[in-house]
Homo-oligomer: A and B are copies of this chain.
Amino acid sequence: MPSSTHPLVSKFDGLMDLTASEREALSGFPLRTVSLEAHQDVTREGDRPSRCAMLIEGFACTSKITTKGRRQIMAFHIAGNMPDLHSVHLGVLDSDIRTISACTMGFMDHSPLKALCSQHPRIAAVLWRTTLVDASVYREWMTNIGQREAFGRLAHLFCEVMTRMEDSGQADGDRCRFPVSQVELGEATGMSAVHVNRTLQELRKENLVSFAAGVLTIHNRDRLAEAGEFDLTYLHLQEAQLAA
C-alpha cells in the first residue's frame, strides 16, 4: 500500500478534480510533519513566519489577547484545516495559533507554496477559497457573539462544530470529539466560564446537547439548530466541488 497519501492531495481530492500535473505538484510538495502537545503555541501574534501549517490530527484554535489580558478565540481548527494559510500573503501575524489537544501538523514553506499558486491557478483559487470560507465563518461568529444570548451562542457553536466534523468524516452519529474546556468555550463565545457552565446545564436540562469529557453529543438536532438559529449556508460546504 502507498505510504499514506500526501495530506495536500487528500485535501484537494475532496475539493476539485485534479489534473495529472496538479496532482503531481501537490503530491511532491515538501511537508515537514511535527507532533505537538496540547496547549502549545504554533505561532504567535507579531510573528513573521515563512511557513504555514496544515492540521493533520487534533484540535487547535486561533486567538488573540487583549491588553487587559482577555482572550478571544476566533476559530476552532479541526483535522484538514490550514489555520494560518493567510500568512502566505500577510507579513505579520495578527493572532496566535495554539493547539488544544495533542496535534500533528504539517508545515509548508511559503515560497514553494507561492510558486505552486503561480503555476497552478486552479490550486491557487481553491486555496484562496479556503480562506474565504474562514472569513465567512468569522462573519457568522461575529453575529453569534454580537446578537445572540448565551443559550443561543453555545447552541450555534455546537451546531457548527458538529456539522464540520461530520462533513470531514470525523463524527460518529450524534457524537464527536471536541476536547475544549469550558473556559475555552467562554473565550470563543465572549462569555465568562461561570456562565458557560450554567448555560451548559440548561442545554443539558432541555435535553439538547451534552458536553463532557471532551465529547460533544447532540440529542436533538432540530431544536438545537433552532435555538442557535443555525443555518449551515455560511460554511459553504456542498458547493465546494463546484469551485475553481
Which residues in A have some Cβ–Cβ distance to B below 8 Å? 45-46, 62, 64, 66-68, 70-72, 74, 86, 89-92, 94-95, 114, 117-118, 121, 124-125, 128-129, 131-136, 138-143, 145-148, 189-190, 229, 233-234, 236, 239, 242-244
Contacts and interface: CB of A to CB of B under 8 A. Distances in A.
A163 to B, nearest CB: 14
Given A121-B121, A142-B74, A143-B74, A234 B94 contact: yes
Given A94-B234, A233-B92, A234-B94, A66 B143 contact: yes
B133 A131 contact: no
B129 A89 contact: yes
A143 B188 CA distance: 10
A146 B143 contact: no
A128 to B, nearest CB: 5
Given A70-B147, A143-B64, A136 B90 contact: yes
A241 B229 CA distance: 41
B234 A139 contact: no
Given A148-B66, A229-B68, A233-B92, A86 B142 contact: no
Given A72-B147, A90-B236, A143-B74, A229 B67 contact: yes
29 contacts: A64-B143, A66-B148, A70-B148, A74-B139, A86-B132, A86-B135, A89-B132, A90-B132, A90-B133, A90-B136, A90-B239, A91-B236, A91-B239, A92-B233, A94-B233, A117-B121, A117-B124, A117-B125, A121-B121, A128-B128, A131-B132, A131-B135, A135-B135, A135-B138, A138-B138, A141-B142, A145-B146, A145-B190, A147-B190
